[in-house]
Amino acid sequence: MNEIQKSIEERLYELPENWEWVRLGSLVNIKTGKKDSNHGNREGAYPFFTCAAAPIRSDTYSFEGEAVLLPGNGANVGLALYYNGKFEAYQRTYVLTSEKISIKYVYYHLLLGWERHNRNKQFGSATNYIKLANIKDYRLPLAPLDEQRRIVEKIERLFAKVEKAAHVVEEVKESVELRRAAILYRAFRGELGTNLPEERNILETAGQWIRTKLIAENMQPYRIPKNWVWLCLKDFLPPMVSCDPSKLDCKEFLYVDIDSIDNRQFTIKRPKMINVSEAPSRARRAICKGDVIISMVRPYLMNVAKVLSDDPALVASTAFYVCRKNEVVNTDYLYYYLLTPFVTNELNIRAKGHNAPSVRNKEFLELKIPVPPAEEQGRIAKKIAKLLDALNEEMHITTEVEERLSLVKQGILNKAFRGALGTGEPEKEGGKAR
Number of H helices, E strands in the chain: 9, 19
pLDDT value at residue 358: 96
Q: What is the mean pLDDT of the chain?
A: 92
Distance between alpha carbon 334 and the CA centroid of its chain, in Å?
26
pLDDT value at residue 214: 78
CB 359 within 8 A of CB 350: yes
How far is residue 79's CA from residue 325's CA, in Å, rounded to a whole number?
Answer: 47
CA distances from 188 to 257, 290, 304, 379 (A): 29, 21, 18, 12
Indicate yes or no: pTM above 0.75. no
pLDDT value at residue 2: 47
How far is residue 95's CA from residue 82's CA, in Å, rounded to a whole number?
Answer: 10
Low-confidence stretches of the chain (pLDDT < 50) are 1-9, 430-433
**Domains of the chain with bracketed CATH:** 20-142 (3.90.220.20), 144-193+378-434 (1.10.287), 200-372 (3.90.220.20)
E runs forming strands in 100-214: 139-142
Distance between alpha carbon 345 and the CA centroid of its chain, in Å?
21
pLDDT value at residue 3: 47
CA distances from 334 to 197, 288, 291, 315, 358 (A): 21, 16, 10, 21, 21
pLDDT value at residue 431: 42
